[in-house]
Amino acid sequence: MKLLLSKAVTLLCAASALAKSRRGPRVQSVILPRATQNNGLQDIVTWDEYSLMINGKRLMVFSGEVHPYRNPVQSLHLDIFQKIKAMGFNAVSFYVYWGIHEPKRGEISFEGFRDLQPFFDAAKKAGIYLIARPGPYINAETSGGGFPGWGTYTPGLWRTSNTTYMEAIEGYIKTVGAKIAENEITKGGPVILVQAENEYSGVQEPYTEDFEYHKQLLQLFRDSGLTVPTITNDAWPGGHFTSVDIYGYDSYPNGFDCSNPYVWKSDAVPEWFWGAHQGINPEDLHAVYEFQGGAFDGWGGSGYAPCAVLTGPEFERVFYKNQYAMSTTLFNIYMIFGGTNWGGIAHPGGYTSYDYGSVIAEDRTLREKYYELKLQANFLAVSPAYLTSRPQNIYDTQGSFTGNSALKTTQVLDVVGNKTGFYVVRQTDASTNALQTYTLQLPTSIGTLSIPTIGGSLALNGKDSKIHVVDYAAGSTTVLYTTAEILTCLKIPPPVAKVLSGTGTIQQKSLASNSLALQYKTTGQTVVQVGSTVLYILDRVNAYQFWVLHPPTSGPFAHYSTENPIIVKGGYLLRSVSIRGSTLSIQGDLNNTATFEIIAPAASSKSVIFNGNALALSKTAHGTLAAKRAAKLPAIKLPNLSSLTWKYADSLPEIRPGYSDAKWTAADHNSTVNPTTPSTPVVLYAGDYGYHTGNIIWRAHFNATGSESAFTANVRGGTAFGYSVWLDSTFIGSWAGDAVHSSYESTFKFPLLLKEGSGHVLTILQDHMGYEGDWWAASDSFKEPRGIHSYSFVGDKVPTVNVWKVTGNLGGESHVDRTRGPLNEGGLYGERQGWHLPGFNDARWAVGKPTTGISSAGVGFYRTTFNLNMPKGVDYPLSLVVSNSTTNPLYRSQLYVNGYQFGKYVNHIGPQTVFPVPQGILNYNGLNTLAVSIWAEGSTGAKLHSLALQLTSKVESSISAIVNQPLTAWAPRPGAY
Ligand code: GAL
């Protein structure tokens, strides 16, 4: 039986298990044109020019990028992995951030949230393969692009084979390499690939690509015990670092301008990637290690909501399908879950949120684009023909097969199997919103057909793309062609002999060779049975509601099974299924009443349990199981933060008379290896003294000449930084910062003439927005200093600074808080003392609220506590929400939850005002400590306009138990100053 289908959006087909499957034998009879490759070190992960294989089985690697360090709650990794898995994906790619593992040279730590083992274990539990990307360079919008702060004073050009650099990376690569190696698939773990470097692509004159670096880095990987294939992600298909096992590239075709989310470039759908791949590594599969899944946003930016529009369902349909048109069989979406730049993770171009507009939002809720991607992943998961396909007419797509030059159609043929064809149709001008109608002239096994065969035409909206299949095997049936897109196929006995349900009109016509054409106009869901095949014809809204889940098998890789799919319609998220005897258990999340339809073998679904409770089952008109289930969403009461008792203390004692900075670090270096030459008598780069994050404070002691009238300084802090200056106890001004400047020179007038010979101190409080990235290969750009580049006094006779002192976080590289890591706290007095931590005794502090604030320039610290008593069985993400202050707008604030810095707010720059704080950082069943710092940069002080705790979503959830991260309490800090 051959089926021809026209006119609908999505198709889900079920074919008889009794009928002889055509797919099994076909794959086995494949004769590959060339030998399968492995790297000689293992034979579990192999590949050829078509696809990757695991244990000899081809797979489409559908992967999403997740950064473990951007989610410090280890027990939440499983939630993210399950959501990715439920989307039909089978892999996750992750960076490791060297800078947080080796904050002090030679002291490598995987303590606390930095431990990678829970991440590996959760991936395995969810049935997700991992692609490890340990750097050493990662970019990733992290401070220093992943490099440790001490790199800024390490001589030698970085990202080259320079000995000083190679010595610097050796300890880290060997340690992290060994950890990844222990979790390779060869040892029963989830890791299948490992990436060397990151976008080692752009090289500036006079440097050239450093092949010796490639060699030595790959050797370090191997020395650490890694055996899985090595990969690299060229920034574009440019043929760099091809000495890895499987070369691939990155692509961000829609760019990063989230403020214009509807503006697409007309030629943004690249077809030359295929030719480039063929020119560079035709012997390997077509691998894309990063493909745009969102966009990052910076200080003063648009916020992430429009980034999710820029890269929304339309983008996914057009740009991802264009990659499928080029037979991409390893496809990693960057990011799939962005997470949070908590603490000092962010580079200067980013703020606390790294939501990225990705399919899983920062608060772990699912965006519409999640459901669109689920359709694509499920389709390719049941399309083995795609895994041995080649595009046929890549440079001749315009007007092909349609005769309509406003459309491009790529013919992607299975060149090894039975000549299944995938025809990817899209707009020639990617940016157009115009609808095009078309007919297709497609070669099929019964000759060329003009489609639709029963007359009429097809339509494609602007910013849309469709994949039509030809000679596509679906169980016992061959779909001769379909202009509907396929969601999934499975083999189960049709539930009833012949039933139609749903609305719409269906026309039929018998064609040659036992073929039947169906043409239909339907809405919603229509179920049709033809012979032994049941078709679900779905519009997009209905298609989004389907989940394809696989019961676990046994053994160590039980959760990686792709056999015996169970299809369930309904629910916000269905995570997993399992079968015991005749009972089917479904674990899922609901945000309202779900109407389930369950397509499962009758013998194993006599009863169905959802989240532990039996469902009351009935039968649909076409014989599948149906059930309704209301979401259990208990009401909760959240504390009103503004009515709590808050305590206040001044956090800038440095400007008080008599303050002693004796314990501070003397800034007395006469030279630096930093490539930026200072214009000061002593080096005033905070990094040279071991301070790499958060606020930095400088103190300049001088004796007055009596004629100085002002002080000028050029301070560098990174985009959106600011600084404030005090002469003794008197505020003399700020550069409050904007979204443009990363350094700024300003002159601050003295309020009066100083007495000749009298001693004075200038106190300069500056923000450190993170180190720059080091994107260019052979580059030192991350060494761009943070601190004072030049300074001078104004006057006839100018004084000399006798002593410069500096502080950042207590302990510098020997940071005090091992739980929260090296980037969490900065150099404010309150941070050095640990005031942000739970359990600090503030009994002697005054009463004062951050919404009352301070009335002059300076720094205030506020603390309060509150209890939460959240119900079980739900996922209720919370955010701290502030609102913009328009009076006294110039201020910077940090929000600490149980000691973790989960918000850096710059009121006059923005844009972020909603700061998600995950459960596990917030204690959902017990006491919480909230601390807030306010640095008023204006002379009239500052306050938070409002501060609230808000729910961002309510979901009944089968999420695994969330264990709080250690919320370690304050303890005396010996030597704190
Ligand atoms: C890529 C890079 C990633 C990330 C991305 C933009 O070029 O490899 O690390 O920076 O751009 O978000």
Q: Length of the chain, please?
A: 977
Calculate mean pLDDT across residues 948-952: 98
Out of 262-276, 321-335, 426-440, 500-514, least confident range: 500-514
Q: Which atom of ligand 1 is nearest to the CA of 138?
A: 9
Decide if 17 contacts 491 (C-beta within 8 A): yes
**Which residues does a 6 A CB cutoff place in the pocket of ligand 1?**
138-141, 198-199, 235, 250, 290, 296, 334
199 as an active site residue: the answer is yes
Task: Tell me what pLDDT residue 12 has.
Answer: 62
Instruction: For residue 296, give the ligand 1 atom closest to its CA.
Output: 12
Whether the link from the prior residue into 237 is cis, omega within 30° of 0, is no
User: What does the pLDDT read at residue 514?
Assistant: 75
Q: What is the mean pLDDT of residues 214-243?
A: 98
CB-neighbour burial class of residue 677 (10 A; exposed 0-12, middle 13-18, buried 19+): exposed
Which tens digits make up the pLDDT trace of 830-872? 999 999 999 999 999 999 999 999 999 999 999 999 999 999 9
Dist. CA 242 → ligand 1 center (Å): 19
Give the type of residue at 22: R
Best residue among 250, 256, 337 to mutate for probing ligand 1's pocket (most ligand atoms within 8 Å of CB) is 250
Ligand 1 centroid, distance to 139 Cα (angstroms)? 6
Provide the β-strand partners of residue 596. Answer: 627
Mutate to test the pocket of ligand 1, among 334, 336, 354, 772 (most ligand atoms within 8 A of CB): 334
Ligand 1: residue whose CA is nearest its atom 3: 140
Atom of ligand 1 nearest to the CA of 140: 9
The atom of ligand 1 lying closest to the CA of 139 is 9
Domains of the chain: 11-25+388-536 (2.102.20.10), 61-382 (3.20.20.80), 546-589+593-629 (2.60.390.10), 653-807 (2.60.120.260), 829-956 (2.60.120.260)
Mean pLDDT of 690-699: 98
Amino acid symbol at 472? Y
Q: What is the pLDDT of residue 497?
A: 41
Q: Which residue is closest in CA terms to ligand 1's atom 11?
A: 140
Residue 351: the pLDDT is 98
pTM summary value: 0.96
Rounded Cα–Cα distance for residues 104 and 100 (Å): 9
d(CA 558, CA 383): 22
680 pLDDT above the threshold of 80: yes
Mean pLDDT of the chain: 94
Residue 7 has pLDDT above 80, yes or no: no
Query: pLDDT over 70 for what percent of the chain?
Result: 96
> Cβ neighbours of residue 555 under 8 Å, at least 6 residues apart?
none
CA 71 to ligand 1 centroid distance, Å: 18
Q: Which residues contact 811 (CB under 8 A, 6 or more apart)?
A: none
The DSSP 8-state label assigned to residue 617 in this structure reads: -
975 has pLDDT over 70: yes
- Strand order across the 10-15 sheet: 485-491, 10-15, 533-538, 525-530
Q: Mind giving me the DSSP string for 292-304?
A: ESS----TTS--S
Could you tell me if 217 and 196 are in contact, meaning their C-beta atoms sit under 8 angstroms apart? yes
The pair of structure tokens assigned to 128 is 């997700």
The one catalytic residue in 102, 141, 197, 290 is 290
Q: What pLDDT score does 897 carry? A: 98
Nearest to 749 by CA among 764, 732, 765: 732
Q: How remote is the C-alpha of 951 from its chain's centroid? A: 22
Residue 887: exposure state from Cβ atoms within 10 A (0-12, 13-18, ≥19): exposed
Nearest Cα residue to atom 9 of ligand 1: 140
* Ligand 1 probe mutation, 69, 139, 159, 254, most atoms within 8 A of CB: 139
Return the residue whose CA atom lies nearest to atom 6 of ligand 1: 140
In the 3-class helix/strand/coil scheme, how is 318-351 assigned residue by residue? Answer: HHHHHHHCCCEEEEEEEEEECCECCCCCECCCCC
The yes-or-no answer on residue 654 being catalytic is no
Task: Kindly indicate the confidence band of residue 516, based on its pLDDT and cuts at 50, 70 and 90.
Answer: confident
pLDDT of residue 400: 98
Cα torsion for 107, 110, 111, 112, to the nearest 10°?
Answer: 150
Could you give the 3-state DSSP secondary structure of residue 445?
coil
Probe target for ligand 1 pocket from 67, 199, 353, with the most ligand atoms within 8 Å of CB:
199
* φ, ψ of residue 748 in degrees (nearest 5): -120, 120
Question: 499 pLDDT exceeds 60?
Answer: no
Distance 912 CA to ligand 1 centre (A): 21
Q: Please tell me the distance between residue 129's alpha carbon and the centre of ligand 1 in angstroms.
A: 21
What 3-state class would DSSP assign to 684? Answer: coil
Tokens of 186: 């060869």
Q: For residue 233, give the ligand 1 atom closest to its CA.
A: 8
For residue 145, the CA-to-ligand 1 centroid distance in Å is 10
Residue 509 clears pLDDT 90, i.e. is over it: no
Taking the CA of residue 356 as reference, the ligand 1 atom at the shortest distance is: 12
Cβ atoms of 115 and 126 within 8 Å: the answer is no
Smallest Cα–Cα separation from 750: which of 714, 696, 803, 706? 706
Give me the catalytic one of 65, 184, 197, 199: 199
Return the residue matching tokens 């923005």. Answer: 910
- Give the confidence band of 515 by pLDDT, cuts at 50, 70, 90: confident
Nearest atom within ligand 1 for CA of residue 199: 8
What is the mean predicted confidence (pLDDT) over 309-338?
98
DSSP 317: I
Strand partners for 787: 685, 716
- In the chain, the largest separation of any two C-alpha atoms, in whole Å, equals 106
Average pLDDT over residues 594-616: 97
> Closest residue (by CA) to atom 10 of ligand 1?
140
Element (H, E) at 8: none
The whole-angstrom separation of Cα 559 and Cα 125 is 7
Q: In this predicted structure, what is the pLDDT of residue 154?
A: 97
pLDDT band at 31 (very low <50, low <70, confident <90, very high): very low
Please state at what angle helix 117-126 crosses helix 77-86, rounded to 10 degrees: 30
pLDDT of residue 324: 98
Kindly indicate the confidence band of residue 3, based on its pLDDT and cuts at 50, 70 and 90: low
The ligand 1 atom at the shortest distance from the C-alpha of residue 295 is 12
The rounded Å distance from CA 11 to ligand 1 centre is 35
Per-residue model confidence as pLDDT tens digits over 162-193: 999 999 999 999 999 999 999 999 999 999 99
Q: Which of 968, 970, 976, 975 is nearest to 113 (CA)?
A: 968
Q: How far is ligand 1, taken at its centre, from the CA of residue 472, in Å?
A: 37
356 CA from centroid of ligand 1 (Å): 11
Q: How far is the CA of 65 from the centre of ligand 1 (A)?
A: 11
Q: Is the peptide bond before 974 cis (omega within 30 degrees of 0)?
A: no
Q: Which amino acid is located at 616 in the chain?
A: A
Above pLDDT 90, what percent of the chain? 88
User: How does pLDDT run across 147-160, given as a tens digit for each residue?
Assistant: 999 999 999 999 99
Count of CB atoms within 10 A of residue 713's CB? 24
Residues 6+ apart with CB under 8 A from 481: 4, 5, 442, 444, 449, 451, 468, 469, 470, 471, 472
Amino acid at 517: A
Q: Which atom of ligand 1 is nearest to the CA of 335?
A: 12
CA of residue 140 to ligand 1 center, whole Å? 5
Closest ligand 1 atom, CA of 95? 9
Closest CA to 800 of 789, 791, 808, 809: 791
Mean local confidence (pLDDT), 767-774:
98
Distance 825 CA to ligand 1 centre (A): 26
Which residue puts its alpha carbon closest to atom 5 of ligand 1? Answer: 140
Identify the residue whose C-alpha is closest to ligand 1 atom 7: 235
What average pLDDT does range 387-414 have in this prediction? Answer: 97
pLDDT digit string, tens, across residues 542-582: 999 999 999 999 999 999 999 999 999 999 999 999 999 99
Measure 199 CA to ligand 1 centroid, in angstroms: 8
Tell me: pLDDT of 5 over 70: no
- Mapped onto helix, strand or coil, the DSSP state of residue 451 is strand
Ligand 1 pocket test, candidate residues 66, 141, 774, 775, most atoms within 8 A of CB: 141
Q: Tens digits of per-residue pLDDT, 899-941?
A: 999 999 999 999 999 999 999 999 999 999 999 999 999 999 9
How far is Cα 173 from Cα 923, in angstroms, rounded to an integer?
Answer: 35
